[in-house]
Amino acid sequence: MTRLLKSFFYKLLRDLTFRITMIVGLCLAVAMTIIMALVDKFGMSEAGFSHYMCTGSYALLSSISPVQNFGITIPINLIVFTTLQFTQGIIRNQVAVGNSKTKVYCSLLIGGLIFTLSLEIIYVGICVGLFSIVGGFYPQLSDGTLLSNFLTGENVLYILIIALMNYILISAYTIFIASSLRNTGPAIPLSIIPLIILLMAPMLLSQVMFADFEGSAIQNIMMILDPFYSLGIVVSKSSSAMMSGSGITVSTNELISCIINNIVYTGVFVGLGLFVFNKQDIK
């Protein structure tokens, strides 16, 4: 397994897809900083803020979500990178020299997860850094008051755990799709469309149902069925919390349901992926 991972990273560091994704991430981070700084300057001052969107805390909440601009490019690039492993015959070579298919699939999974997390961590880091340099970490009112109580250390930890679980699931799902189809064309929409639907569903439902959504049966079902529910709600809650200066609360229920359903879904996709990969012939 170690040798397969070593070869994975050897290729990754020389791969154009990875480099391009990094450059895209950097450009997006710079562009977002400029846009948010302009929004703060020309839009938020009327609401009484001197710095609101172009702050490190806002960057942390918005850039960590898999549904934001860069987050959505990660599974696409992971699909491209993984399908290339098949079309270039790397997987074929690895199997032919005596690695079991299970080992090869697990190395793809671990490599894919590191691919996803490293890109996301770098992107979030750059965004938080750039936004903080321009507007500080916490939102600030025009009178100089810092709104530092809306994001506690405990909440940041919860959010990081939820995001980590989500990215593990996204990697497992993406690798399952890429290794089953082995073709970039159908794999990209099949990977992205369900993710977007699941990520957007809680936000859209809460918008449609307004206050009725909190504590409703639909919300409970969403908590069980939608693995991205918790992160979606946190991101959605954050903007209103920042505006009002109140704190965001990630409930224990949200955290536990997120951890459990993410583990279940990840287990299902890893199991399915292993089954299909072991059954399919390698071209």
**Contact set with another protein (CB under 8 A):** 2-4, 6-7, 10-11, 14-16, 88-90, 92-101, 279, 281-283
Q: In 3-state terms, what secondary structure has residue 223?
A: helix
CB nearer to another protein: pick between 99 and 216: 99
| Structure-token pair, residue 182 | 């082995």
CB nearer to another protein: pick between 13 and 217: 13
Residue 51's beta-bridge partner residues?
140
Least distance between another protein and beta carbon 112 (Å): 16
| 146: phi then psi, degrees, rounded to nearest 5 | -90, 135
CB nearer to another protein: pick between 89 and 189: 89
Burial category of 10 from C-beta neighbours within 10 Å (exposed 0-12, middle 13-18, buried 19 and up): exposed
CB nearer to another protein: pick between 97 and 211: 97
Least distance between another protein and beta carbon 110 (Å): 14
Residue with tokens 């590191």: 114
CA–CA distance, 65 with 166 (Å, rounded to integer): 9
Least distance between another protein and beta carbon 81 (Å): 12
Q: Which residues contact 269 (CB under 8 A, 6 or more apart)?
A: 169, 172, 173, 176
137-155 burial, b at 16+ Cβ within 10 Å, e below that, comes to bbbbeeeeeebeebbeeeb
CB nearer to another protein: pick between 77 and 266: 77
Least distance between another protein and beta carbon 281 (Å): 4
CA–CA distance, 38 with 122 (Å, rounded to integer): 24
Least distance between another protein and beta carbon 102 (Å): 11
CB nearer to another protein: pick between 98 and 215: 98
CB nearer to another protein: pick between 12 and 134: 12
Least distance between another protein and beta carbon 56 (Å): 37
Angle at 163 between CA 62 and CA 253, to 5 degrees: 110
Least distance between another protein and beta carbon 187 (Å): 20
**Helix intervals (H) in the chain:** 2-14, 16-42, 56-63, 69-87, 90-96, 101-135, 153-181, 184-209, 217-225, 229-244, 252-279
